[in-house]
Amino acid sequence: MNIETIAIHGGNHIDTKTKAVVQPIVMATTFERDADGGFSSGYQYSRSANPNRDALEKVLAKLDQGVEAAAFSSGNAAGMAVFQSLEPGSHIIAPDDMYHGLRNQLKQLFAGILEFDFVDVNNEETLRSHIKTNTRLIWVETPSNPLLKITDIKKVVAIAREHDIKVVCDNTFATPICQQPLTLGADVVMHSTTKYFGGHSDLMGGALITAEKTDWWEKIRNVQTMGGAIPSPMDCYYLVRSIKTLPYRVKGHVHNAQLLATFLENHAAVEQVMYPGSTSHPQYSVAKEQMTLPGAMMSFTLKGGEEEAKKVINSLKIFTQATSLGGVESLIEHRASVEGPDTKTPFNLLRVSVGLEHIDDLIADLEQAMA
């Protein structure tokens, strides 16, 4: 099936009892045992499994061409499950511009438990020089947040394979509509389903999808069920519903992003546009090779510095100044202010999540703000 069809049918079934065309929400926390004490329904306790979570995980796995998915209560919970699955003393190589929420998680929660280095994973020499005998994981984030760097997934995977190292790719910005890391060799793909999967800024969630059912994947699954950082049946239901429109929403987001990037690149006040779909992007050729679409996230820097960036962001009327991304509304953020004192983000940078408003209105709003 094509991805548009998978999105609609991959997590849905006709209810056998009522013949409802949409799967019902099962809010029960516990399920009746059989006469012999077993569970013929396959369900025992909702922390372990729930019909709505099963439906969500089924469609997530199919969208990313994986064999199984694990749903979590947030993207950070999904990332943490990967870190918790590693043996103490394991070494992780992560991008120097890794999403700050997961970067801080490693630095503050796993200090003394895991070893980690934040490096330029796009530089082959640098990447190879940081591999140790206890390196167990290379974390990839492409496109990255907020600098929109593109990492050659196949190249990183090839290096990792030489040393029996696992590769996890944070695919939140791209979604499986724009990029499928498992088909490029990654072992596990991660998403914050809060973003494009939910698509309306009203759901929290995270997901991991695996290329193979391995002992390591079983450990991740155990973290999910024993740790209990799971989404509610209601959240799972609404995520399945939102995913049905994901392919068409993402195509609309990308359409607007491409036009907005062109406008910004030709504006006199703009210093640089960071967008994988622009030929000016330093890794444009890599993006074109491994992405089916360039996504709808972008950042741009202003010639007037931090003062100008803050003036622009505070003058916008349609764009909402807010954290997060992937919703139908366009969001903009002065990222350095959000990331804190150790940020590597330029202070004249604004990050944009391009929404589904009419592109003419979005351009007009930015035009008046930068006038």
Q: Which of 64, 152, 170, 235 is catalytic?
A: 170
Is 284 an annotated catalytic residue? no
- Annotation marks residue 195 as catalytic: yes
Say how many residues make up the chain. Answer: 371
The span from the CA of 33 to the CA of 201, in Å, is 38
**Cα 250–Cα 255–Cα 256 angle in degrees, nearest 5:** 100
Count of beta carbons in the 10 Å neighbourhood of residue 41? 12
Name the amino acid, one letter, at 82.
V
> Which residue among the candidates 53, 103, 136, 195 is catalytic per the annotation?
195
Q: Which of 99, 237, 238, 275 is catalytic?
A: 99
State the Cα–Cα distance between residues 369 and 371, nearest whole angstrom: 6
103: annotated active-site residue: no
Are 117 and 91 in contact by the 8 Å Cβ rule? The answer is yes
Q: What strands lie across the sheet with 297-302, from one edge to the other?
A: 270-274, 297-302, 349-353, 331-333, 320-321
Which residues, 6 or more positions from 78, have their beta carbon under 8 angstroms from its beta carbon? Answer: 70, 72, 190, 191, 192, 206, 207, 208
The tokens for 224 are: 């999910």
Note if 275 is an active site residue: no
Alpha-helical segments (H) within 246-325:
246-265, 284-290, 305-313
Query: Given CA atoms 115, 119, 122, 123 in this order, what sign does their dihedral have?
Result: negative
Q: How far apart are CA 299 and CA 321, in angstroms?
A: 14
Q: Which of 272, 292, 275 is nearest to 284 (CA)?
A: 275
Catalytic residue IDs: 47, 99, 170, 195
